[in-house]
Amino acid sequence: MSVGDWTERFTGTRKLPRRVRDRLLQVARVRHYPEGALVFGPAKVPDGLLFLHDGTIRVSQSSDRGREIVLYRVEAGESCVLTTACMLAEEAYNAEGIAETDVTVVNLPRTAFDQLAGEEPDFRSFVFA
């Protein structure tokens, strides 16, 4: 499945200059997860910035007794706050993201993120706004 110009799907990326959006389109990778799949989980450091193109991801934590606490849901057209925070801090997730539906995510690899944040003021402003 092609997602075409996925930068149109997200309010923040849609406002970026065309040259920055073109770079995003060149380096980002599309990933698909079936309903019920683990999209991210505890003890794993994010390898990139996630944008949810389609579907819903449930972000939750489990207690020592096995009880699940739903923190929030990421809906299509949003990015995951936890992924962004963990990636920037270079820390592992303390929660898990489960695909509540079939999902399509766009992953901007960490190396590309670092390069864009260092070279493109518009991208930097978008991320840290």
**Predicted TM-score (pTM) above 0.75:** yes
Whether residue 31 is predicted with pLDDT greater than 90 in this model: the reply is yes
Helix axes 110-119 and 18-27, enclosed angle (nearest 10): 160
Domain that holds residue 54: 6-128
Residue 15 lies in a domain: yes
| CATH code, domain with 77 | 2.60.120.10
Residue 38 lies in a domain: yes
Residue 121 lies in a domain: yes
Confidence of residue 2 (pLDDT cuts 50, 70, 90): low
Residue 1 lies in a domain: no
Number of domains making up the chain: 1
Residue 37 lies in a domain: yes
Phi, psi (deg, nearest 5) at residue 21: -60, -40
- Summary mean pLDDT of the chain: 91
Whether residue 1 is predicted with pLDDT greater than 80 in this model: the reply is no
Confidence of residue 52 (pLDDT cuts 50, 70, 90): very high
| Of 2-6, 79-83, 109-113, 124-128, highest mean pLDDT | 109-113
